[in-house]
Amino acid sequence: MGDEAHAGRGRRPTIADVAQRAGVSKGLVSFALNGRPGVNAVTRDRILAVAAEMGWSPDVRARSLSTNRSFALGLVLRRDIEIVAGDPFFPAFIAGVERELSPAGQALVLASVPTGPLEADTYRKLAAERRVDGVFLADLRAHDERLALVDSLGLAAVTLGHPDIDSPFAAVSVDDVEGMIATVDHLVDLGHRSLAHVAGTADMLHASRRRDAFHAACGARGVVGRVVETDFSARQGGEATRELLAGDADRPTAITYSNDLMALAGIAVAQRAGLSVPRDLSVSGFDDSDIARYVYPSLTSVATDAVEWGAAAARVLLAAIAGTPLEDTDLAPAKLIARESTGPAPGAPPPH
Amino acid sequence: MGDEAHAGRGRRPTIADVAQRAGVSKGLVSFALNGRPGVNAVTRDRILAVAAEMGWSPDVRARSLSTNRSFALGLVLRRDIEIVAGDPFFPAFIAGVERELSPAGQALVLASVPTGPLEADTYRKLAAERRVDGVFLADLRAHDERLALVDSLGLAAVTLGHPDIDSPFAAVSVDDVEGMIATVDHLVDLGHRSLAHVAGTADMLHASRRRDAFHAACGARGVVGRVVETDFSARQGGEATRELLAGDADRPTAITYSNDLMALAGIAVAQRAGLSVPRDLSVSGFDDSDIARYVYPSLTSVATDAVEWGAAAARVLLAAIAGTPLEDTDLAPAKLIARESTGPAPGAPPPH
DNA sequence: TTGTACGCGTTATCAC
DNA sequence: GTGATAACGCGTACAA
């Protein structure tokens, strides 16, 4: 007597145990659990009560096998560790994803791969083993081969941002352009006429979109806008800064960076060169990491709501899997947060 | 003819398809695939060739159901987003975990929960649904209830660090104590006689271990060592610094922080107060984030190899699940990396 | 509402 | 030693 309901001890109850105890068939338990019509309300309540009493919940493995669904979504991170580690985006994004997945009974499968061919293999493996029903495609690249790959693997997907090629998947996007334009406007309004942008890897779409927006905004305001490309790392952010500050003649008076990490490294390089930020050089970042607010000078940055982005992407992906696809979603555009690291251009009159 | 081997198109091949094509039984295909004895070498090769040709790999769902294993491990992050986002530990840890899991055919299931009761529910759910075979227990707390919970749920586990209570699980640990002692020694050697430590949440074991080590090291060297407790966030790191610098009489000349994020915020607070780092105040962090090297002044910090930690933890957990448990593992202790943010105490003679 | 076939590998039992 | 056969794991879904 009473060898049930002992979590972890002995055999855990199955649907058959619940059915027997409730005096009904397995099928009816399944119907009751999934809230399907055709079950007498009284019977349903009794079944659910028995299930709760026995501490039974359906085994996701068995469910997966019979429904041909995994009840899990995948996220493949392909980045070098130093760069992921310094990036506040993914932890926040994942928190948002989880907020949606958990109540939906879905799990997140995370894979982390170094840059290289392993990435495609990882998607293939996730599909071949039937680990996940769909994947989040982050860090889109130019002509991203993952779109065709993932589609051919029969996986559902959602892209973070709009791809530059035809896509079979819905996109959930946050517009960086507006934040970059606001940054350039902010700097030009402060009297800067020679700007620079330290961009991320050119083949990553969000990096190139920011770069293009920088160019366009500088053109629109009639100011000089140089660009140096990097790999998003603090090291290269610092090196790019050194390069930009080297020439005396055309030295920019303001630099925008494609992430906060590089901006902080850039400030350090400037300070080492004897420049004061923002007196001699204005600096702005991207992502609005928590630390941006707490350094000195505090860092002007462009804020993206990564948590909401994750939640929206999860909703869209779940809908696609459920067969009721949602439209592309454009979230609130990234917003400039002006702080102390940007100030009047040297020699410029203070803005009124 | 020829409707097989089309990834994603139509029905994917099953073990029965492979068996039929190879002219053997399902069971033999299974044996061949898993490298079991009792299969003729020639037959085995033929089976494997056919499987490869058809692009078949076993469906984890079916495998899970029959073997009663999930082939997945879980990691539950319970932290506030601002704190996870600024922490370089988990991305690196996960990269190390993945390095071991991927070749072993295991997946990582990641859950992210806010501080609160949801955490225990998440472990319960992972176990009830049979999502994972084991979990990584990170951020151990004092008298951590998760040990008993996870054990009662019948999950395998590995703890990151040694718990302060009896544990049924193996531990993989990196000793922070040595790094903290080295930090205090470094500062005392530089002439500092009044130190302070900005500690993390007291109920988190690694925070309290660092704090205790700080106290002990200060005692051993006969210097003053004050402690302020925080929640690991940049905000509270800054506030703690303000508090420490407020009194004129007993103001410390050096502050060690329990992470780099707080140390950077602390430097900012000091600079705002008109102090120069390290001339007026020495500062050191913990974790050795990538950014520590690139800020100005560069940040003295204590380095932990999170990637190796992840890899070792994964190996130990996999061994536990396989029924061949490994011993507790102590990795290389955390190491002090002295940089520019620590220097001679004000008024002290320069070290010879 | 019930009975039962089914999904797809694994493994124990048997036969040659 | 090689190999086939069939039961099994646990929900789901359809015919009855």
Residue-wise burial string across A81-99, b where 16 or more C-beta atoms lie within 10 A, e elsewhere: bbbbbbbbbbbbbbbbbbb
- CB count, 10 Å around CB of A276? 12
Q: Which nucleotide is nearest to A34 (CA to C1')?
A: D12
Q: Which residues of B touch A62 (CB under 8 A)?
A: 65
- The pLDDT value recorded for residue B4 is 33
Return the CATH number of the domain spanning residue range B67-175+306-333: 3.40.50.2300
Euclidean distance between CA atoms A86 and A233, whole angstroms: 8
Q: What percent of chain A has pLDDT over 70?
A: 95
Q: What is the pLDDT of residue B347?
A: 80
SS3 A135: strand
Contact A8 B112 (CB under 8 A): no
CATH 1.10.260.40 intervals, chain A: 3-57
Helix/strand/coil for A306: helix
Please give the residue of chain B at the shortest CA–CA distance from A10.
B154
Structure tokens at A283: 């600096």
CA distance A219 to chain B (A): 32
The confidence score (pLDDT) of residue B3 equals: 33
Q: Which CATH superfamily hosts domain A3-57? A: lambda repressor-like DNA-binding domains (1.10.260.40)
Are the CB atoms for A225 and A188 separated by under 8 Å? no
A63 closest-nt by C1' vs CA:
D11
- Inter-chain residue contact B110 with A113, CB threshold 8 Å: no
What region, left, alpha or beta, does residue B329 occupy, with left being phi > 0 and alpha being psi -120 to 50 degrees?
beta
Name the residue with tokens 């100030």.
Answer: A343
In whole angstroms, give the CA distance from residue A250 to residue A226: 10
Q: Is A332 near chain B, with CB under 8 Å? A: no
CB contact under 8 A, B59 and A107: no
Q: What Cα–Cα distance (Å) separates residue A99 from each residue in A46, B64, B303, B345?
A: 31, 27, 33, 48
Which residue in chain B is spatially nearest to A154 when comparing CA positions?
Answer: B8
Q: Do A122 and B102 touch (CB under 8 A)?
A: yes
Evaluate whether B107 touches B74 at the Cβ level (below 8 Å). Answer: no
Q: What is the pLDDT of residues B39-61, one digit of tens each?
A: 999 999 999 999 999 999 999 99
Gap from B12 CA to C9 C1', in Å? 14
Comparing every residue's Cα with the C1' atom of nucleotide C10, the nearest one is B66
Residue from B66, B267, B294 whose CB has the most chain A CBs within 10 Å, to mutate: B294
Span A177-304: which CATH code?
3.40.50.2300
Q: What is the pLDDT of residues A256-279, one digit of tens each?
A: 999 999 999 999 999 999 999 999
Q: What is the pLDDT of residue B8?
A: 42
Residues of B in contact with A65 (CB under 8 A): 59, 61-62, 65
Q: Give the pLDDT confidence score for residue A4 in this predicted structure.
A: 33
Q: Hey, what are A319's tokens?
A: 């809908």
Give the separation between CA A131 and CA B58, rounded to whole angstroms. 11
CA of B58 to C1' of C13 (A): 24
Chain D bases under 7 Å from protein CB? Answer: 1-14
**Nucleotide whose C1' lies closest to the alpha carbon of residue B60:** C9
Å from B41 (CA) to D10 (C1')?
35
- Identify the three-state secondary structure at position B190: coil
What per-residue confidence (pLDDT) applies to B350? Answer: 59
Rounded CA–C1' distance between B36 and C9, in angstroms: 15
Residues of chain B with CATH 3.40.50.2300: 67-175+306-333, 177-304
Q: Which residues in chain A touch residue B113, judged by CB atoms under 8 angstroms apart?
A: 98, 102
The set of strand C positions with any atom below 7 Å of a protein CB reads 1-12
**pLDDT given at position B116:** 85
Contacts of A33 in chain B (CB under 8 A): none
Rounded to whole angstroms, the Cα distance separating A247 from B143 reads: 59
Size of interface A-B (CB pairs under 8 A): 198
Chain B: closest CA distance from residue A305 (Å): 12
Nearest CA to the C1' of D4 belongs to which residue? B25
The answer, for B128 touching chain A at a CB cutoff of 8 Å, is yes
Q: How far is A145 from chain B (nearest CA, A)?
A: 16
Q: Which residues of chain B have pLDDT under 70?
A: 1-11, 348-352
CB-based contacts with strand C under 7 Å?
A 23-28, 31, 38-40, 43, 62, 65-66, 68; B 11-12, 14-16, 26-27, 29-31, 33-34, 56, 58-59, 61-63, 65-67
pLDDT value for B301:
98
Rounded distance in angstroms from the CA atom of residue B277 to the C1' atom of nucleotide C4:
77
Q: Which residues pair with B283 in a beta bridge?
A: B255
User: Straight-line distance from CA A311 to C1' D6, in Å?
Assistant: 47
> Closest protein residue to C11 using CA and C1' atoms?
B27
Residue A352, pLDDT score: 53
What is the DSSP pairing of strand A329-331 with strand A301-303? unpaired
Model's pTM, two decimal places? 0.94
Residues from chain B contacting residue A58 (CB–CB below 8 Å): 129
Nearest nucleotide relative to A37: CA against C1': C1
Separation of B68 CA and D15 C1' (Å): 31
Low-confidence ranges of chain A (pLDDT < 50): 1-9
- Give the start-end residues of each E strand in B155-242: 156-160, 170-174, 194-199, 224-229
CA distance B313 to B172: 6
**A residues 9-48 lying closer than 8 A (beta carbon) to B:** 9
* Predicted pLDDT of residue A217: 98
